[in-house]
């Protein structure tokens, strides 16, 4: 119960931050426009290849990768909390650090859900990715699970960069690019050596993407994929909690809670 | 000239202490992997040149947008803009020197993508028209530096420059044809793509990798240089207008 109360307080912080960053107009024209351009950019590579099938494959992959790129902003927004100087108070309080940081960057989940939904449901049909009403409804649910579980993963690099805040954007961008390369967004996972296939199975987004591709191909068998996404996300959440506890313990020991960078 | 060189030297010192300013260089190897994987999976080795050039052009644009775009604003946040405006040295050459260093450093992205292709994909990119390639690359760097000056000035007036930095990447990668030539875009976009210098750069650089003779090289280079000139002129005008505005409004610093 206490965990949930602290988490809710963190979410209030997150949405206040979001409202301070974006207006409806800048989110729609600047951010959503940028994401649509990103998806079109990858989709056009399919056009260059002269393959409508590749075009559809790349569009779906790029739209799901928009979620990854956005929830990885958790790396930056976690450091904003530390930059605000609140970490000593958070460490001194009885509340869980994981609850604080899990709430603190939650704004990226609904935002990425909205951008990826628009890309798949509105831009998709322009390039031959079509949806029936039931599949469109289920798609939104699948995208939500994908965004939420990928967010659990993003909390891990978010916690890790609290010790090296200048690296926050580098870490987020490199991880985002690696996921785009290897988790089946641009080429099937089977294109890569088998050990890469094993490694990316540990990422929730790999399973979320499979679920979206299942829906895009007219199937509805998404539950196993979502199950794996939730399972892997739970593991990443535990890792994030451990990293944050370690940050606090180390900070107490060597006096780096206030100035850890 | 001395102010310009001081700007260069100062920016070199800044870059040494803040590698995050060249963040896009860290992503270049992975982007090269992404694009080459797509081409190899589709069995299109003829498009390897597109895959190798694109990450370089994207990094060049991204670094200019983020790092050069924030040059003036960073001085403002640091409280040093007042002093810079008050000293007798002119701001434009100082800023130009700093931008030249950032743009030159970001050209390293092309070297990175070349070696990633060679080492990890066993793809060797040959340059049949080396002269065209080198001249086009220099002209691209010049154009980027000129347009980076425009961004540096505009971002001073923006409520949140970060929003625009995030927004101006991929739309320009599409309109600039960094991987897919603009000839694949709808005709109604042609007036827009024609004024985006990246579209001329990327076409020229790709043609330099193609064994076929490069068509209309002189004319296309001239257009690229004219667009660079337009960016330089606009940047210089905006810089003086922005400085005049923040001086008269008393907003040289945020305090």
Q: Which of A31, A54, A188 sits opposite B167 (nearest CB)?
A: A31
| Cross-chain Cβ contact B33/A181 below 8 Å | yes
> CB-based contact (8 Å) between A126 and chain B?
no
Q: Which pLDDT value is given to residue A95?
A: 83
- 8 A C-beta contact, residue B73 and residue B164: no
Count of CB atoms within 10 A of residue A249's CB? 11
Q: B64 lies in a domain?
A: yes
Q: Does residue A212 have a pLDDT over 90?
A: yes
Closest CA to B205 of B55, B29, B45, B22: B55
**Crossing angle (nearest 10°) for helices A223-254 and A97-104:** 120
**Crossing angle (nearest 10°) for helices B48-66 and B91-106:** 150
Q: How many domains does chain B have?
A: 1
Question: Using a CB-CB distance cutoff of 8 angstroms, which residues of chain B are in contact with residue A40?
Answer: 170, 174
Q: Which pLDDT value is given to residue B255?
A: 46
- Chain B: give the shortest CA distance to residue A186, in Å: 6
**Distance from C-alpha of B152 to C-alpha of B102, rounded to nearest angstrom:** 13
Q: B255 lies in a domain?
A: no
Query: Would you give per-residue pLDDT tens digits along chain B (255 residues)?
Result: 888 899 899 889 888 888 778 888 999 999 999 999 999 999 999 999 999 999 999 999 998 888 877 788 788 777 888 888 888 888 888 888 888 898 888 999 999 999 999 999 999 999 999 999 999 999 999 999 899 888 888 877 765 666 777 788 899 999 999 999 999 999 999 999 999 999 999 999 999 999 999 999 999 999 999 999 999 999 889 888 888 888 888 777 764
Tell which wins on pLDDT, B159 or A98: A98
Closest CA to B61 of B125, B12, B133, B110: B110
- B43 — alpha (psi -120 to 50), left (phi > 0) or beta? left
**Distance from C-alpha of A115 to C-alpha of B92, rounded to nearest angstrom:** 40
Tell me the pLDDT band of A21, cut-offs 50, 70 and 90. confident
Q: Which of B18, B23, B173 sits opposite A41 (nearest CB)?
A: B173
> CB-based contact (8 Å) between A26 and chain B?
yes
> CB-based contact (8 Å) between A76 and chain B?
no
Q: Which pLDDT value is given to residue A169?
A: 84
Token digits for B184?
Answer: 């694949």
What digits encode the pLDDT tens for the residues B161-184? 667 777 888 999 999 999 999 999
Q: B145 lies in a domain?
A: yes
Q: B202 lies in a domain?
A: yes
Establish, for the pair of chains A and B, how many residue pairs have beta carbons separated by less than 8 Å.
Answer: 101
- CB under 8 Å, gap of 24 or more: what pairs does B7-10 form? B7/B93, B7/B94, B7/B95, B7/B96, B7/B97, B7/B98, B7/B100, B7/B101, B8/B97, B8/B98, B8/B100, B8/B101, B9/B97, B10/B94, B10/B97, B10/B98
Q: B96 lies in a domain?
A: yes
Range of the domain at B237: 2-249
User: In chain B, which residue's Cα lies nearest the Cα of A188?
Assistant: B41
Instruction: Please list, in sequence order, all residues whose beta carbon lies within 8 angstroms of the beta carbon of residue A209, skipping any fewer than 6 positions away.
Output: A60, A61, A64, A146, A183, A184, A185
Q: B144 lies in a domain?
A: yes
Residue with tokens 């920016």: B11
> CB-based contact (8 Å) between A86 and chain B?
no
Question: Using a CB-CB distance cutoff of 8 angstroms, which residues of chain B are in contact with residue A189?
Answer: none
Q: B132 lies in a domain?
A: yes
Token digits for B104?
Answer: 């030159």
**Distance from C-alpha of A233 to C-alpha of A231, rounded to nearest angstrom:** 5
Q: Which of B15, B17, B40, B42 to mutate to test the interface with A (most CBs of A within 10 A)?
A: B42
User: In chain A, which residue's Cα lies nearest the Cα of B174?
Assistant: A41
Tell which wins on pLDDT, A235 or A84: A235
Q: B254 lies in a domain?
A: no
């Amino acid at each position: 119960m206490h965990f949930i109360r602290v988490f809710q307080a963190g979410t209030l912080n997150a949405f206040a931050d979001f409202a301070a960053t974006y207006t409806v107009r800048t989110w729609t024209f600047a951010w959503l426009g940028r994401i649509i351009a990103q998806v079109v950019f990858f989709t056009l590579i399919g056009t260059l290849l002269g393959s409508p099938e590749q075009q559809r494959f790349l569009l779906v992959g790029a739209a799901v990768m928009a979620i990854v790129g956005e929830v990885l902003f958790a790396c930056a927004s976690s450091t904003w909390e530390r930059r605000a100087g609140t970490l000593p108070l958070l460490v001194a309080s009885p509340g869980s650090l994981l609850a604080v940081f899990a709430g603190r960057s939650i704004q990226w989940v609904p935002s990425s859900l909205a951008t990826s939904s628009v890309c798949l449901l509105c831009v998709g049909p322009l390039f031959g990715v079509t949806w029936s009403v039931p599949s469109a409804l289920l798609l939104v649910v699948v995208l939500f699970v994908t965004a939420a579980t990928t967010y659990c993963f993003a909390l891990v690099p978010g916690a890790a960069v609290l010790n090296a805040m200048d690296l926050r954007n580098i870490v987020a961008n490199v991880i985002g690019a690696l996921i785009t390369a290897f988790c089946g967004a641009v080429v099937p996972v089977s294109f890569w050596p088998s050990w890469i296939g094993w490694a990316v199975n540990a990422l929730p987004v790999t399973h979320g993407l499979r679920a979206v591709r299942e829906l895009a191909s007219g199937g509805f068998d998404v539950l196993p994929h979502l199950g794996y996404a939730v399972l892997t996300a739970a593991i990443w959440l535990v890792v994030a909690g451990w990293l944050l506890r370690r940050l606090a313990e180390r900070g107490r020991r060597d006096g780096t809670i206030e100035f850890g960078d | 000239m001395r102010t310009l060189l001081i700007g260069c030297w100062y920016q070199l010192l800044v870059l040494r202490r803040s590698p995050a300013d060249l963040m896009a260089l860290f992503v270049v190897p992975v982007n090269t992997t992404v694009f080459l994987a797509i081409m190899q999976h589709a069995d299109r080795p003829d498009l390897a040149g597109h895959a190798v050039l694109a990450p370089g052009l994207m990094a060049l644009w991204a670094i200019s947008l983020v790092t050069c775009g924030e040059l003036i604003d960073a001085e403002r946040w640091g409280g040093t803009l007042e002093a810079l405006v008050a000293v007798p040295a002119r701001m434009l050459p100082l800023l130009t020197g700093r931008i030249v260093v950032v743009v030159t450093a970001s050209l390293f992205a092309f070297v990175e993508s070349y070696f990633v292709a060679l080492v990890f994909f066993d793809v060797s990119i040959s340059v049949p028209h080396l002269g065209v390639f080198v001249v086009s690359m220099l002209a691209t760097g010049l154009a980027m530096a000129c347009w980076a000056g425009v961004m540096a000035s505009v971002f001073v007036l923006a409520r949140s420059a970060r929003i625009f930095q995030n927004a101006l990447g991929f739309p320009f990668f599409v309109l600039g044809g960094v991987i897919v030539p603009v000839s694949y875009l709808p005709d109604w976009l042609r007036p827009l793509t024609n004024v985006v210098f990246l579209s001329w750069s990327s076409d020229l650089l790709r043609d330099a990798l193609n064994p076929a003779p490069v068509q209309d090289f002189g004319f296309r280079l001239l257009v690229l240089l004219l667009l660079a000139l337009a960016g330089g002129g606009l940047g210089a005008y905006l810089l003086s207008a922005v400085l005049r505005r923040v001086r008269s409004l008393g907003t040289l610093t945020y305090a």
